[in-house]
Amino acid sequence: MTNNRYPGFGVLLVDDEAPFLRSLSIALERQGINHLYRCTDSREVMATIAREPIGLVLLDLTMPHLSGEELLARIKEEHPDIGAIIISGLNQLETAVNCIRLGAYDYFVKTMEEDRLIGGIRRAIQAQEMRQENQEMRRRFLTDTLEKPEAFADIVTQDKTMRSVFQYLEAIAVSRQPVLICGESGVGKELIARAIHRLGDAQGPMVSVNVAGLDDNVFADTLFGHHRGAFTGADRARAGMIEQAAGGTLFLDEIGDLSQASQVKLLRLLQEGEYYPLGSDRPKRLRARIVVATHQDLARKQQDGGFRKDLYYRLRIHQVEIPPLRRRKGDLPLLLAHFLAEAAEELGKSVPTLPRELPVLLANYEFPGNVRELRALVFDAMSRHRSHMLSMEVFRQALGQDNPTLVPQDEPEQPLFSQLDTLPTLQQAGELLVAEAMRRAQGNQSLAARLLGISQPALSKRLKKNTGED
C-alpha cells in the first residue's frame, strides 16, 4: 500500500547511469523519502509520468536520446503542475539559468555534497505539496464539498466556519507537515486532531501527550524513549511516544506550555526528521505526523520571547483556528440534543422534555468553558433529573443568570455610545435596552427581566408604558 510512502506523490529519478540512481535512491530512502520511481531510458519518461502519480521529476542533464532540457520543456508543456529538478555532472551557469527559465525548480551538480542535494529535494517536495494543497483548497471551497464527512462524525456542528475548517483539513490531509490547532479550552481541539488522523488514512495509531508541566528530561524520555542504563532506574529499554505512533499521528497538546529546552528538541525533530533515544548514539527516523494544539496566543508569545520564533514558524505551516461556542450559537440546539442523549444513555434514564425557555437561556450565555462546559452542565442536570420535564433551575444556578455575562471575553470593550453623534435620552436608552433584552430572550419576559436585573412585574410595567397601554 502507498499510505506509508512519502511524499503522497511519486518522485521520478531519471538518469542513464544506473549506479547513480541506486545510490541516490538509497540516500533519499534513508531520509524517509521512499515514494520513488527510477528510469534509465529518457524515452520512457513521458510514458511513466502518464502512468504513475508523479509530482516531482529529477532529470539528468546529459543523456542519450533525449536531454534533460528537452524533457524539461516537454514536461512543462504537457504536465505544468509537475515540479522538476535538473541534476548535471557539470557546473554550467548558462545551462542552469536556461533550465530555471524553462520552469525547473532548482539545478544541482552531482559532485556537490549529498546533504545539499537532499535538502534541495526536500524543499522541492514541500513546495510541490503546498501547491497541491492550495489547488485542492480552491477546488473544495468553490464546490463546497466534503469528500470524507465520516472523518468528522464525532464533531457535532452545522456552523459554516467549522465546515470551512473541515474543508481545509481535507485539503492538507496528504501532507506530512505539522498542523497547529488553536482555540480556547473546551472547543474540541483533540477531536480535530483525531479527524486529521482519520483523514490521513494512517496505518499506525494516534498517540496523545499533554506536554504541559513536563520538564525537559521527562519530555525527552516521554517522546524519544530510552535505552537500558540511560539513567539511574532505567533497568530496561522503553520505546518513546514517537516510536509508538509510527505510521500514525503524534498529538502534542498544550504546546504553548513547553519549556525552552524542550522547544529546541522539538524543533530539531521537525527539521531533521530524526531523534535520539536517551542513551543512544544512533538516530531513529520520525515516521509519524506531528499535530500540536494550544489555547495560548503563540504569535504574541513568540514576540514576547516565551516561544521560539523558528519553532513557531515551523509549526504554523498548517494552522487552524477553532471558533469558541459563543461564535457558533447555531450549534447549541444540536449539541444540547446530542449531550442529552449521551447523558441519558450513560445514566440509564429517558431523554427528558426540554423547557421552552432553555434554548433561549443558553443562547444568552457566553460559555467561557465552551463545548466542554455545555456537556458538563447537561450531565449535571441529567444526574439530578427526576420528572418528565428537565429542570430550568439547574441551568439558572450553573449559568449564574442573576449576573449574566453578555460581552464576549475576547473582544475589547468599547464605549457603548462612541459611534453616536448625539446621545439618546434616558427614556430612549431605557426603551432600547428593554427592546434588546426582549429580542435576546425571544419574547420571554421572565428571562428578559433577569438579563436586565429587574423583576418580571417591573419589566411588564415598562413594556406597557413603552407601547402606550394603560
pLDDT band at 414 (very low <50, low <70, confident <90, very high): low
Last residue of a domain, one of 269, 304, 323: 323
Q: What is the DSSP letter of 389?
A: B
- pTM score, whole prediction: 0.73
Last residue of a domain, one of 98, 131, 164: 131
Same structural domain, 181 and 261: yes
In a domain, 411, yes or no: no
pLDDT at 449: 80
Same structural domain, 167 and 293: yes
CA nearest neighbour of 394 among 411, 418, 378, 417 = 378
In this predicted model, what pLDDT tens digit does every residue of 62-100 receive, in sequence order?
A: 899 998 889 999 999 999 999 999 998 877 778 888 888
- 409-417: long-range contacts at Cβ-Cβ below 8 A with a sequence spacing of 24 or more? 409/366, 409/368, 410/184, 410/324
Same structural domain, 307 and 240: yes
In a domain, 410, yes or no: no
Same structural domain, 458 and 342: no
Same structural domain, 334 and 366: yes
In a domain, 272, yes or no: yes
Q: Are 172 and 181 in contact (CB under 8 A)?
A: no
Peptide bond before residue 205 is cis, with ω within 30 degrees of 0 = no
Which H/E stretch holds residue 360?
A: helix 358-363
Q: What is the secondary structure of 72-119 as a DSSP string?
A: HHHHHHH-TTSEEEEEESS--HHHHHHHHHHT-SEEEETTS-HHHHHH
In this predicted model, what pLDDT tens digit does every residue of 212-249 receive, in sequence order?
A: 989 999 999 999 999 888 888 888 888 999 999 999 99
pLDDT band at 436 (very low <50, low <70, confident <90, very high): confident
Quote the number of domains for the chain. 4
Same structural domain, 216 and 73: no
pLDDT at 259: 92
Q: Round the average pLDDT of the chain to a whole number and report it.
A: 87
Same structural domain, 224 and 373: no
Same structural domain, 101 and 169: no
Q: What is the DSSP letter of 179?
A: E
In a domain, 228, yes or no: yes
Same structural domain, 178 and 292: yes
Same structural domain, 383 and 260: no
Joined together, the cell numbers standing for residue 18 give: 544506473
Q: Are 124 and 95 in contact (CB under 8 A)?
A: no
In this predicted model, what pLDDT tens digit does every residue of 385-403 receive, in sequence order?
A: 888 888 888 788 877 654 4
In this predicted model, what pLDDT tens digit does every residue of 284-337 receive, in sequence order?
A: 999 999 999 999 999 999 999 999 999 999 999 899 999 999 999 999 999 999
Q: The domain containing residue 441 runs over which residues?
A: 426-467
Same structural domain, 200 and 246: yes
Q: Are 443 and 463 in contact (CB under 8 A)?
A: no
